[in-house]
């Protein structure tokens, strides 16, 4: 971590904050504001960390937003992300060498590969300079942050969770948030689709306690590797070796059989009793909503160890953009060659930051036959964590760049008709709140590789159209049209919902000569003039099986919060919002320097 600090300082990527700040909300709020600045702001080092509730002052600083820019990601990788992706592509396409020179070059590549395997060292590591065993264990010795007002408690947000299969043959590294329940119990938020959860099932069936070791800090690349969606059974530390060309050096935990990198800042070890589950959450999550309380396994901590001089690494999630935008950017690029092995005609893909990754993917492909894009949709919805994707738009090779949002939207809307849509059902991220039931729900694919061009509607200006809408739907409160120069303009209408949105849509079919795609949002907390946050809201809130309506050429999308009117029986979570008094305090002491316009833009 010290090396990381020096690296960030050298590249002018670090802001040191010496003011006394609380682990409860204050530090995370500043981290949240910083990453919303253009290019992700700076990494933040908080040197004067306190727990105002207990009066405790922490010796160690807290580091946040370490991955929060493209530049910092590449600094921490020690190379360009492109070069990692190229290397993986090369490995996947290795052919027998043709001549002597090729043999030589292949030999050197293969020789470098020997370094990818983690190395188990004898003896203890720097991470074990200070040890606390049994009764000495106290998780409150660490500056664990409480990030949001409605959170169920403090959460470790950048924990590297090391687990192994019941037979010890497979080792996994995953990043899951960890709720601090008391001085020696942690909630293990490994979701049902994740590898550690599969290991947990094995221990549960065998009725045996599961060992877990959690590391915090060390080389930040361990933390990124923990988020990498490698297939079940593949140790994520191999990725560390591949990127750095150095094997991760591991030492044995003090009280579990698991090995952890010797240079991490903290280690928390313990055992999960598979017969005990405890309510986890709520937690203000990266969907921008709170995830609801649910039972998760609990770890009883048997030992804690740490470096004498250490830094506590953390992140904060909420509404976009977030630090995970940059981590996800690296992941997307590095996993592209692997995804291509399933869908070889894929040219590029991109997950817009404001759709919270799995809620929307844009993909460019080379369509070779009828139905090719649909084949890709099925492949995506069946491929590892890619199968969480709710909405996927496919375009052909002639489309503009996937990040040229204006031109890209224009391209799709000029080819779109209701025939372009394909709606089906599949698995969902455990965090999805919109589906009528958890874990499964609607999937919407749009095949814009085919040109289904329509005639443009007869446009009305916003005021005239709103007056006409108001005559039919009295609950309508505001209206704004987008992309009116295309054959499928998008009309966003905010409503004070007193009926099912489908009823509003049916009433508006009378205006179908003037509208094509109509998106409904709640009046509360939405601004029809803020497309960035509208994309966030609508892709989060909709379940395509329930919320997409078609009448002739007109398509309706219900992006409102669901409730009894919709027959929705699950709890609908609150938005993650900053605590006003905390922001005011941070402004008063002169550390909050976020432009006021950003406050509205990102609906803090």
Residue 152 beta carbon to ligand FMN: minimum distance, rounded to whole angstroms: 13
Give 259 or 416: the residue with its C-beta nearer to ligand FMN.
259
- Indicate the angle between helix axes 220-227 and 70-77, nearest 10 degrees: 110
Number of Cα atoms under 13 Å in the Cβ half of residue 339 = 27
Q: How far is the CB of 430 from ligand FMN (least distance, A)?
A: 7
Q: How far is the CB of 44 from ligand FMN (least distance, A)?
A: 16
Is 195 a binder of ligand FMN (CB under 6 A)?
A: yes
* Among the residue ranges 143-151, 222-230, 412-420, 474-482, the one whose residues contact ligand FMN (CB under 6 A): 222-230
174 binds ligand FMN (CB under 6 A): yes
Query: Residue 395's beta-bridge partner residues?
Result: 364
The C-alpha atoms of residue 492 and residue 517 are separated, in whole angstroms, by: 8
**Which of residues 147, 256, 315, 539 is near ligand FMN by CB under 6 A?**
315
Q: Is 289 in the site for ligand FMN (CB under 6 A)?
A: no
Q: How far apart are CA 187 and CA 181, in angstroms?
A: 7
Residue number, 324 or 558, with CB nearest to ligand FMN: 324
Q: What is the dihedral of CA 341, 345, 348, 350, to 10 degrees?
A: -70
Phi-psi domain of 211 (left: phi exceeds 0; alpha: psi -120 through 50; beta: other): beta
Interaction between residue 176 and ligand FMN (CB under 6 A): yes
Distance CA 270, CA 129 (A): 18
Q: Does 415 interact with ligand FMN (rule: CB under 6 A)?
A: no
Residue 165 CA from chain centroid, whole number: 26
Give 338's strand partners.
none
Cα separation, 15 vs 300, in Å, equals 36
Selected binder of ligand FMN within 29, 36, 72, 189 (CB under 6 A): 189
Q: Are strands 185-188 and 294-306 parallel, antiparallel or unpaired?
A: antiparallel
For residue 317, state whether it binds ligand FMN (rule: CB under 6 A). yes
Which member of 17, 139, 215, 327 binds ligand FMN (CB under 6 A)? 327
Q: How many of the chain's residues bind ligand FMN (CB under 6 A)? A: 20
Q: Interface with ligand FMN includes 72 (CB under 6 A)? A: no
Asked if residues 146 and 23 have their Cβ atoms less than 8 Å apart, the reply is yes
The answer to whether 196 contacts ligand FMN (rule: CB under 6 A) is: yes
579 binds ligand FMN (CB under 6 A): no
Choose the stretch contacting ligand FMN; rule: CB under 6 A; options: 190-198, 201-209, 366-374, 494-502: 190-198
Do residues 7 and 75 lie in contact, with contact meaning Cβ atoms separated by under 8 Å?
yes
Is 313 in contact with 265 (CB distance < 8 Å)?
Answer: yes
Question: Quick check: 40 binds ligand FMN (CB under 6 A)?
Answer: no
- Of 317 and 395, which has the nearer Cβ to ligand FMN? 317
Pick the closer one to ligand FMN by CB: 235 or 414: 235
DSSP class of 293: P
What letter does residue 60 receive in the DSSP assignment?
A: S
Residue 240 or 394 having the CB closest to ligand FMN: 240
- Of 229, 247, 400, 426, the one binding ligand FMN (CB under 6 A) is 229
The distance of closest approach from Cβ of residue 330 to ligand FMN in the complex, given in angstroms and rounded to an integer, is: 11
Distance between CA atoms of residues 363 and 571, nearest Å: 33
Q: Among 108-116, 130-138, 172-180, 258-266, which window interacts with ligand FMN (CB under 6 A)?
A: 172-180
Of the candidates 8, 175, 339, 444, which one interacts with ligand FMN according to CB under 6 A? Answer: 175
Rule CB under 6 A: say whether 324 interacts with ligand FMN.
yes
Contact 157, 323 (CB under 8 A): no
Neighbour count for residue 504 (Cβ, 10 Å)? 25
CB of 380 to ligand FMN, least distance (A): 16
Q: How, if at all, do strands 119-120 and 249-252 pair?
A: parallel
d(CA 518, CA 480): 10
Query: Closest CB to ligand FMN among 172 and 561?
Result: 172
Judge whether 327 and 69 are in contact, CB under 8 Å: no
227 binds ligand FMN (CB under 6 A): yes
Which residues are near ligand FMN by CB under 6 A? 172, 174-177, 189-191, 194-196, 226-229, 315, 317, 324, 327, 385
């Amino acid at each position: 971590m010290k090396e990381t600090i020096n690296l960030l300082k050298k590249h002018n990527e670090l802001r040191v904050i010496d003011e006394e700040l609380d682990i409860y909300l204050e530090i995370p709020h500043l981290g949240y504001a910083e990453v919303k600045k253009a290019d992700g702001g700076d990494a933040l080092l908080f040197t004067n960390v306190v727990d105002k509730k207990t009066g405790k002052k922490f010796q160690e600083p807290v580091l946040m937003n370490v991955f929060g820019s493209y530049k910092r990601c590449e600094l921490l990788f020690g190379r360009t992300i492109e070069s990692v992706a190229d290397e993986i592509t090369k490995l996947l396409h290795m052919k027998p060498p043709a001549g002597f020179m090729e043999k030589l070059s292949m030999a050197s590549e293969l020789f470098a590969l020997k370094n990818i395997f983690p190395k188990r060292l004898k003896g203890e590591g720097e991470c074990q300079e200070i040890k606390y065993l049994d009764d000495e264990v106290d998780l409150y010795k660490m500056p664990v942050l409480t990030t949001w007002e409605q959170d169920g408690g403090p959460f470790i947000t950048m924990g590297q969770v090391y687990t192994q299969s019941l037979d010890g043959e497979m080792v996994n590294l995953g990043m899951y948030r960890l709720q601090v329940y008391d001085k020696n119990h942690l909630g293990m938020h490994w979701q049902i689709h994740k590898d550690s959860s599969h290991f947990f099932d094995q221990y549960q069936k065998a009725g045996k306690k599961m060992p877990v070791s959690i590391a915090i800090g060390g080389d930040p690349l361990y933390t990124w590797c923990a988020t990498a969606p490698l297939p079940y059974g593949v140790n994520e530390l191999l990725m560390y070796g591949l990127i750095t060309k150095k094997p991760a050096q591991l030492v044995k935990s003090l009280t579990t059989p698991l090995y952890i990198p010797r240079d991490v800042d903290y280690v928390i070890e313990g055992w999960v009793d598979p017969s005990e589950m405890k309510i986890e959450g709520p937690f203000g999550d990266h969907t921008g909503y709170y995830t609801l309380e649910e039972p998760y396994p609990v770890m009883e901590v048997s030992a804690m160890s740490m470096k004498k001089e250490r830094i506590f690494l953390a992140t904060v999630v909420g509404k976009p953009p977030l630090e995970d935008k940059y981590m996800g950017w690296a992941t997307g690029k590095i996993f592209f060659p692997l995804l291509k092995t399933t869908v070889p005609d894929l040219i590029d893909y991109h997950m817009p930051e404001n759709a919270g990754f799995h809620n929307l993917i844009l993909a460019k492909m080379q369509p070779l036959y009828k139905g090719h894009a649909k084949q890709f949709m099925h492949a995506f919805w069946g491929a590892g964590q890619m199968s969480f994707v709710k909405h996927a738009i496919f375009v052909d090779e002639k489309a503009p760049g996937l990040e040229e949002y204006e031109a890209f939207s224009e391209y799709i809307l000029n080819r779109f008709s209701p025939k372009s849509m394909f709606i089906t059902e599949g698995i969902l991220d455990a965090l999805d709140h919109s589906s009528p039931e958890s874990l499964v729900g609607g999937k919407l694919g749009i095949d814009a590789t085919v040109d289904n061009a329509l005639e443009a509607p007869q446009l009305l200006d916003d005021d005239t159209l709103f007056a006409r809408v108001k005559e039919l739907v009295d609950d309508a409160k505001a209206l704004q049209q987008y992309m009116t120069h295309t054959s499928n303009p998008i009309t966003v209408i905010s409503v004070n919902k007193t009926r099912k949105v489908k009823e509003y849509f049916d009433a508006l079919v009378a205006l179908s000569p003037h509208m094509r795609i109509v998106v409904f949002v709640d009046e509360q907390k939405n601004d029809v003039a803020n497309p960035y946050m509208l994309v966030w809201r609508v892709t989060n809130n909709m379940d395509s099986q329930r919320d997409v309506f078609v009448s002739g050429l007109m398509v309706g999308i219900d992006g409102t919060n669901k409730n009894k009117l919709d027959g929705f029986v699950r709890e609908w979570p609150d938005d993650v919002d900053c605590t006003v008094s905390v922001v005011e305090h941070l402004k008063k002491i002169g550390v909050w320097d976020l432009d006021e316009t950003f406050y509205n833009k990102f609906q803090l």
